[in-house]
Structure 1
Amino acid sequence: MATPEKTEEPPKVTPLLELAKCSKATPSPNPDKCGPIITIVVGSAKKIREFHVYEGLLSHYSSYFKAALKGAWKEGALKTVELKDDNPEVFKAFFHWINTGKLYFAPNASGEIPLSEKLICEIYVFGDARGCPDLCNAAIDLLLQKMHEAWRTALAELPFVYENTLRGSALRKCLVDDFVDNFRFPNLTDVIQRDAELSRYPQEFLAEIVVAFMALGSTPIPSAAGWGNLPYSKNNWVTHIKPLICSRYHDHPAPPA
């Protein structure tokens, strides 16, 4: 008798956290006015990649590219922009976003968001440096979806974020709020391990955490009810954070001139 073939069960994937589209996002440009193709050369040494993008798209979403592509600039005359110090994977996400409205093409083989927390934070920093607030907003949204999917805080990304953003950054605020809402700072009460644990966090972050906890006063932490029962805590956080994302973490640019 033939042995029936075993079928692999599909991986259990947390459904992507559904977020409302930002009502104040920059409207899409007129496709009839996208203009010529611009070559963007990203990276250096062995990590160089070329992208070919409509000038109108770059100028519409980014004040940096709008200025760089003016005729008086070398880049505008040559229709080529070099970004030697940037990560090609970051620009790839930007390229996907300006063409499709998404930072990636499709989920990975496990059905999950294919971008790491670090890369998403890099995308935010790129958008901040290139005058592209809508890209920063998209990165914030995706980071929240990623943290919800994995149900973990972006602990390893804190040094990068605090080294590459300014005080008051929406990305900093997003991470501080997430830590206050969901993280329980293990080992901080253990005198032996305290110094090693504290050294993992930027000092500015620790100060902002203290201020955030003081601001709570007697207000309950959103995810605290049901701590230890992850789905319940997770649902509490989602219910709390979803209506606040746009007002707390989005930069709403002025309409294009």
Structure 2
Amino acid sequence: MYVTSGTTNRSLKQPTSQAVNKKRHENYLDGRSIEVIVGSSPSVTFSVHENLICSSSDFFKKAVQGGWKESEDRLVRLESDDPDVFSIYLHWLYYHTLPVRIDEPGLAGNAEYMQLANAFILGDMFQDGNFQDAVMDAMMDKTASEAADGKHWYPVGPVIRLIYENTFESSKARLFLVDMYTLHGQGHWLTEWAVQEDLPKDFLLDVAASLLEHRPHPLSYYLVLGSCRYHQHEPEARACYKNVPALRPKRG
């Protein structure tokens, strides 16, 4: 809105949704804090604003405001969880960003996928769908970004096992893996970048079903009458039994 010369009218522009969200976020920083003890031997103690974490996580809302012992002590213990992963969640709560970005190829890059997978699983425990969505967006961004070697690297091996052992059948993280392997997967992902223990039966069945569902049509390259694709002999056509007159199939 502009004001013509000689007038003193104030802009009647309404606050944007971004400004409203910022104000709401600032309000969450008012009030008391709680302590969260994460891990064991050693454990790490985090301090977080109660209103902020309870507004995002149903888990903490029930623990802190549900009349349990935690609400009296203002203390939540997460002894079986990883402080490094919880710090990712805490960073997202306060800054709405994920402090992860490794552009190294190979195992180093896969380690970040492991970190993100653990964050997704923690978000499921915390019942914080928005955080889980942010984690999935980070995974998508990582697959779409080139690593330092100019290539795209996808989640392999232990990441698959971690997700499948800690999520339900309907998990979006599982769907993400299946889509990745259906649309971009290569055979050596399963042979060179994973061991058998990293490939749960459910994952292999999901990928197989997805490939059947999304297989390209037509399959003329593969299912061609007269092709030697499924023969035992070497690729050279001259090695085929059909080139031996005595063995050549007779046409009726």
TM-score band by shorter chain is 0.5 to 0.7
Alignment of 1:51 onto 2:46: yes
CA distance in 2, matches of 1:103, 1:115: 15
Say what the alpha-carbon RMSD is for the aligned residues. Answer: 3.1
For residues 103-155 of structure 1, the C-alpha deviation after alignment (integer angstroms, 9 at most, x for no partner) is: 21x75698x99971101000000001110011111111111222333412211
Which residue of 1 is the match for residue 120 of structure 2? 124
For residues 33-72 of structure 1, the C-alpha deviation after alignment (integer angstroms, 9 at most, x for no partner) is: 44211111110012x1111111011111100000001161
Which residue of 2 is the match for residue 173 of structure 1? 175
Structure 1: which 4+ aligned runs deviate by more than 6 Å? 112-115
2:82 to 78, 87, 110: 87
Return the structure number with greater relative CO, CA threshold 8 A, min gap 6. Answer: 1
2:67 to 72, 83, 99: 72
**Does the C-alpha gap of structure 1 residues 141 and 50 become closer, same or farther in structure 2, counting only changes over 3 Å?**
same
Which residue of 2 is the match for residue 244 of structure 1? none
**Does the C-alpha gap of structure 1 residues 37 and 164 become closer, same or farther in structure 2, counting only changes over 3 Å?**
same
By how many angstroms is 1:162 displaced?
Answer: 0.6
Question: Given the two structures, how large is their TM-score scaled by the length of structure 1?
Answer: 0.65
Aligned residue for 2:188, secondary structure, equals coil
Task: Letter of the 2:45 partner, please give it.
Answer: E
Aligned residue for 2:51, secondary structure, equals helix
Alignment of 1:134 onto 2:130: yes
Check the 8 A contact 1:187/1:197 in 2, yes or no.
no
Task: Letter of the 1:165 partner, please give it.
Answer: T
CA distance in 1, matches of 2:62, 2:217: 46
Check the 8 A contact 1:176/1:208 in 2, yes or no.
yes
**Does the C-alpha gap of structure 1 residues 200 and 66 become closer, same or farther in structure 2, counting only changes over 3 Å?**
closer
Aligned residue for 1:102, secondary structure, equals coil
**Does the C-alpha gap of structure 1 residues 215 and 128 become closer, same or farther in structure 2, counting only changes over 3 Å?**
same
Task: Letter of the 1:129 partner, please give it.
Answer: M
Question: Given the two structures, how large is their TM-score scaled by the length of structure 2?
Answer: 0.66
Check the 8 A contact 2:110/2:155 in 1, yes or no.
no
Check the 8 A contact 1:113/1:146 in 2, yes or no.
no
CA distance in 1, matches of 2:200, 2:67: 42
**Does the C-alpha gap of structure 1 residues 144 and 219 become closer, same or farther in structure 2, counting only changes over 3 Å?**
farther
Check the 8 A contact 1:124/1:139 in 2, yes or no.
yes
Alignment gaps of 5+ in structure 1: 1-22, 221-257
1:97 to 72, 92, 95: 92
Which residue of 1 is the match for residue 14 of structure 2? none
Aligned residue for 2:178, secondary structure, equals helix
**Does the C-alpha gap of structure 1 residues 209 and 52 become closer, same or farther in structure 2, counting only changes over 3 Å?**
same
Task: Letter of the 1:178 partner, please give it.
Answer: M
Looking at CA atoms only, which structure, 1 or 2, has the larger radius of gyration? Answer: 2
Which residue of 2 is the match for residue 163 of structure 1? 165
